Amino acid sequence: MIKDNDTSGGCSGGELVVVTEEDDSKLKLKLYSYYRSSCSWRVRIALNLKGLKYEYKAVNLLKGDQFSQEFTKLNPIGYVPVLTDDEQDIVISDSFAILLYLEDKYPQHPLLPQDLQKKAINLQAANIVSSSIQPLQNLAVLKYIEEKVSSAEKLTWVQYHIGKGFAALEKLLEGCCGKYATGNEVFLADLFLAPQIDAAITRFSLDMTQYPLLSRLHNAYMELPAFQAAVPERQPDYVKP
Ligand SMILES: N[C@@H](CCC(=O)N[C@@H](CS)C(=O)NCC(=O)O)C(=O)O
C-alpha cells in the first residue's frame, strides 16, 4: 500500500533544503512517486529547482500499489506521479500537467524561457520524451511484450524506440544546445531528458556513443544539486536492484 515516507529535501540555488520531521506535518505539497519512475523524477527535479518542500508518498509499482482503490481515486489510470496541493485542495496527475501547475503557482526558477523559439524547442523536446519515448517503455508495455513475446524482444523494442527518439533529439538540439539542452540555463527540456537518458544507460543498456550531445548533457545534469537530489538512489523508497 501507499506508504508515508521521510520527506525528501528540496533544493534551490544549488543548496539542499533538509526537511525535518517537524516540518512534515505542515507540508502542503505531496508527491506520489516511485523512485525509478522517470515521470516522477521529472517532477522531483522541478520541486527541487523551485525550492519547494514536499512530502514523499511512495507508490510501489512492482507491488501494484498503482491499482489500489486508494490510489486510483487520485489517478484513475493508475500511473505516478500525482501531486496534491492541500492549500488549494487540488489533485493533479500527469507529470506535464503537474509541471505546468508548479510553473504557474511558483514562478521562481522558470521552467520555460521567454524566447519563443527556445520555448517551443523545450516543449518539443519534452513531448518527444513524454509522448514518443516513455509510453513505449512503460512498465505495463514492457510486461506485456515480455509475457506475449519474449524478454529478448522487450530489450530490442525498448532500445529501438529510445534510439529513434534520441536521434531526433540530437538533431533538434544541435543548433541551440549550450551547457544544457537549450543554452546555459536549465529549462523544461532538461527535466525530461535527465531521467530518460539515465534510464537508457542504466536500465536499457543503450549504446550512447551514437548520441554525443545527450551523453554530454547527462554528465552536466549529474553535477547539479537539484538533479542529484532527484535521482532514484536518493529517494526514501529506493531499493537496490
Ligand atoms: N503521461 C504520464 C505517464 C505516467 C506513467 O506512465 N507513469 C509510469 C511510471 S513513469 C507508471 O506509473 N507506470 C505504471 C504502470 O505501467 O503500471 C505522465 O507523464 O505522468
CB of 94 shorter than 6 A to ligand 1: yes
**CA 34 to ligand 1: nearest atom:** 9
Query: Would you tell me how many other CB atoms lie within 10 Å of the CB of residue 216?
Result: 13
CB of 211 shorter than 6 A to ligand 1: no
Which cell numbers hold the place of 86? 492541500
| Rounded CA separation 40/83 (Å) | 10
Q: What residues have CB less than 8 Å from 165, skipping those under 6 apart?
A: 128, 129, 132, 133, 196
| Beta strand segments in 71-146, E | 82-85, 90-93
CB of 182 shorter than 6 A to ligand 1: no
Q: How high is the pLDDT of residue 23?
A: 54
- Taking 50 as the threshold, does the pLDDT of residue 221 lie above it? yes
| Rounded CA separation 170/234 (Å) | 29
- Taking 90 as the threshold, does the pLDDT of residue 142 lie above it? yes
**Residue 100: which domain range?**
29-108
Q: Residue 115 carries which DSSP code?
A: S
| Rounded CA separation 45/50 (Å) | 9
Q: How high is the pLDDT of residue 17?
A: 42
Work out the average pLDDT over 56-78: 97
24 or 156: which leads in pLDDT: 156
Q: What's phi and psi for 212, nearest 5 deg? A: -65, -35
Pocket test for ligand 1, best of 32, 38, 80 (most atoms within 8 A of CB): 80
Q: How high is the pLDDT of residue 241?
A: 86
- Domain holding 213: CATH number? 1.20.1050.10
Work out the average pLDDT over 6-12: 33
| Rounded CA separation 197/206 (Å) | 9
Asked if residue 169 and residue 129 are part of one domain, the reply reads yes
Q: What percent of the chain has pLDDT over 90?
A: 88
- Taking 70 as the threshold, does the pLDDT of residue 1 lie above it? no
Query: Would you tell me how many other CB atoms lie within 10 Å of the CB of residue 160?
Result: 11
**CA 139 to ligand 1: nearest atom:** 16
Asked if residue 134 and residue 80 are part of one domain, the reply reads no
DSSP states along 153-177: HHHHHHHHHHHHHHHHHHHHHTTT-
- Taking 90 as the threshold, does the pLDDT of residue 119 lie above it? yes
Domain boundary among 75, 108, 141: 108
Q: What residues have CB less than 8 Å from 112, skipping those under 6 apart?
A: 103, 119, 122, 123, 187, 188
Residue 32, strand partner residues: 57, 82
Asked if residue 78 and residue 37 are part of one domain, the reply reads yes
Q: How high is the pLDDT of residue 26?
A: 77
**What's the whole-number average pLDDT of the chain?**
91
Domain boundary among 92, 108, 124: 108
Work out the average pLDDT over 142-149: 95
Q: How high is the pLDDT of residue 2?
A: 55
- Taking 60 as the threshold, does the pLDDT of residue 9 lie above it? no
Asked if residue 203 and residue 96 are part of one domain, the reply reads no
Global pTM reads: 0.91
Work out the average pLDDT over 17-45: 81
Structure confidence at residue 85 as a pLDDT band (50, 70, 90): very high
Asked if residue 142 and residue 218 are part of one domain, the reply reads yes
The answer to whether 186 and 122 have CB atoms below 8 angstroms apart is no
The rounded Å distance from CA 12 to ligand 1 centre is: 27
The answer to whether 13 and 54 have CB atoms below 8 angstroms apart is no
The tens digit of pLDDT for each residue in 170-217 reads 999 999 999 999 999 999 999 999 999 999 999 999 999 999 999 999
Domain boundary among 58, 81, 108: 108
20 or 57: which leads in pLDDT: 57
